[in-house]
Structure 1
């Protein structure tokens, strides 16, 4: 069953699609639902800025009305007595009004609102950038994970083939009475474990493929073949730790987001101050009505009335209504400043961690390369001595497992090195 699964996997991979990490990134940028949502939010922010600027234009309104007047009762002898009615020649009433208002001064409230919407738009842009960086990193994780499991698959398949050939030789020796039955059982057990490990590796590879396909908007069962080189490449240049910190402070979307939140909370404080200032503006009304009941003497006739002037308004209650709102805005402003400092602290911490792990990975690669050489030679010697009846089966199987483990560790260190490199790029806004 395990061999059939392995053969089937080999046959399927013939039709696999070669793909690079750059291509996955490009497809994810087009098909990622998170990126699409954030992009739309950024577009809506641009419209909000335009809407805030449009408030600088004069306010112009029009209204019209038509109705019927009831007879007007007059209670000369009290409300409980019979009323006399004023006769009306025409019960109709109608009118139309055009009104305009233009702000001269409003405590810079309009200016503050425009600034707030502009900051919100920039905040949306930086959130979109952070989303793209995050998606790129998640894609890189899945891509490297797929590379890791495909390399593990090759190593385990090769090891299974060698174990099967070795088991045949051990069985022949057992048939000839040269080795014990326990040697055959131990060899069979190790082979069984490797086949079980292969099944787990194949499943993990399929899960990583599905994850990449979802990022790209492709069918879940599409077979992918990563073509990027495993390990450090010449175009991947590691900078100094201080350079990464400077880049993070200046270019990281997380830092930009925190900065915009501070600016927005400061504008909220300024906006509340503007609410307490008087509002001055030009106004104009042009009114057509019937009947003429606004000016004395009244008349059953239509009339036109136009008024222009300067209007001053001031909300006195804002002085005591907004006291707690002002304090809340100031507290939020201080909170956002601390949050920005916290973002910087976390960026430094994450960069330091990724940087040190990256250096560790390079050391592990060198160590693993030496371990493979040593494990290869050790396995060669024990394989030869065992079949010459000079060593035990347990020593040979341990040597075989150590060699495979050393090969695993080399691939893992190379993948980890690349992942930590991408983590450094993400934290500095360069991924």
Structure 2
């Protein structure tokens, strides 16, 4: 009997452990900061941009390799046929025997000394592209974070709204039960029963829609964050009690001008166009290179009859090359490069202006959200006062139960709007961080 009891106890403990583990893995409270950290590690949308950085880094290495010397090695073996000697009028042909085995070995080395800055500009363009790839990753990461904040706060709102509807449904059922009882006693009309049944049906339908919205938002978060499918994200309820700094519009504008990712990308585009302009201008300059070569050939066929020996010779020198056609061709390309740089500067100015406008607009919405919060705090106070008055009247039989339930519904609605007002402040604060490039 003791062994059976011990086995049952161990089985119960195991089942409880499994249940607790399932509960822990099912629902998970996630803060916004933790959500950002998980997204940085798991989000598939960021992986191509990480690869883009590696690709750009490799392009810089390729551009730097242009500074290294070029080395060409060639080796060959050939069969030489006999030659024929002819007079100038193609008469008196004479067979000229030749050694039939030919060999060639050549080693050539060249090093660019000056190329008009095209090598350095190519390296600088590669470095700028590497920075651009890094900014693209940061920009995509901020977009993803802002989208996740939207999902997260919407989930917070929907869960809060769901609690309000469930409480209203429960209260409506109580009212409906009371009216049905009164209808049975002949005190209430059947139309009152129908009206409250319709109200209950509408509330239950709205609750189903809210539950579906919660499921969709949770699925979006779980999928993007790479969490297990059975995970249910619970927003951090302490978020609404955090203090969100207001500062002033100039603070946020200055922050955006220093950190805005689109603005930095636009500036890098200007710099890359300037470097490309230098590359185009290099066509107008001469190219200077050092070269060295060694040849080992045989037989010597420039003599008649040929000399069946190997001949080795080498040379070193400095060469200057200049494309004269660039004087009347490159000027058009250079003008095109200058126009491209001018357009990039104009786009930078426009991006700067749009950034300032966006920051100012979002700052106004942010301060508006604080004003809405103050109004909702006042509404909650009024709703609580109204609920207290109606409750006292109901206890003294001076008010109907419908008055009591209306006051309770108004109190719940005001509290729900207060939480939503706090969430709106959080949303607009994170939007300001996003626009200013500091998310």
Q: TM-score, normalised by structure 1?
A: 0.87
Please say if residues 98 and 306 of structure 2, whose CA atoms lie closer than 8 Å, have aligned partners that are also in contact. no
Change in CA separation of 1:301 and 1:352 when aligned onto 2, cut-off 3 Å: same
For the pair 1:18 / 2:29, whether they are aligned, the reply is yes
**Alignment partner of 1:292 out of 300, 315, 332:** 300
Cα distance in 2 between the residues matched to 1:38 and 1:224? 27
Residue 153 in 1 paired to residue 149 in 2? no
Partner of 2:324: 316
More helix by share: 2
Shift of 1:372: 3.4
TM-aligned CA distance change 1:207 to 1:69, over 3 Å = same
CA deviations over 1:373-427 (Å, ceiling 9, x no partner): 4345556767867x9797797x888767655543443232222110110011112
Match of 2:50 in 1: 39
Instruction: Give the drift of 1:181.
Output: 1.5
Name the structure 2 match of 1:55. 66
Aligned to 2:343: 335
Distance 2:356 2:68 in 1: 47
Question: TM-score, normalized by length of structure 2?
Answer: 0.86
| Aligned-partner SS, 1:264 | helix
For the aligned residue pairs, the C-alpha RMSD in angstroms reads 3.0
Q: 1:198 aligns with which of 199, 207, 222?
A: 207
- Distance (Å, rounded) in 2 between the aligned partners of 1:160 and 1:207: 23
In the TM superposition, what is the alpha-carbon distance from 1:31 to its structure 2 partner?
1.0
How big is the shift at 1:257? Answer: 0.9
- Contact 1:13–1:223 (CA<8 Å) still a contact in 2? no
The superposition leaves residues 134-167 of structure 1 with CA deviations (integer Å, 9 ceiling, x where unpaired) of 2221221111111111111111111111111111
Contact 1:73/1:83 (<8 A) preserved: no
2:429 paired residue number: 421
The answer as to whether partners of 1:262 and 1:333 remain within 8 angstroms in 2 is yes
Secondary structure at the counterpart of residue 169 of structure 1:
helix
Q: Which consecutive unaligned segments of at least 5 residues does structure 2 have? A: 1-21
Preserved CA contact (<8 Å) 2:26 2:230: no
SS of 1:430 mapped into structure 2: coil
Q: Deviations over 1:250-288 (max 9, x none)?
A: 112222111111100111111100122110111011111
Query: Helix, strand or coil for the counterpart of 1:229?
Result: helix
Rounded to whole Å, the distance in 1 between the matches of 2:327 and 2:125 is: 23
Contact kept? 2:84, 2:96, Cα under 8 Å: no
Mapped partners of 2:23, 2:197: distance in 1: 28
How far residue 28 of structure 1 moved from its aligned partner, in angstroms, is 0.5
Residue aligned with 1:231, SS: helix
Counterpart of 2:366?
A: 358
Aligned residues of 1:32 and 1:217 also touching (Cα < 8 A): yes
1:141 is matched with 150
Structure 1: runs of 5 or more not aligned: 1-10
Alignment of 1:169-184 (within 5 A): 169-184=178-193
Q: Distance in 2 between matches of 1:270 and 1:382?
A: 81
Q: Classify 1:295/1:45 alpha carbon distance in 2 versus 1 (closer, same or farther; 3 Å).
A: farther
2:77 partner SS? strand
Is 1:122 equivalent to 2:131 in the alignment?
Answer: yes
Counterparts of 1:19 and 1:75, CA distance in 2: 95
Query: Match for residue 12 of structure 2?
Result: none
Match of 2:103, SS state, is: strand
Number of residues of Structure 1 aligned to a counterpart in Structure 2: 417
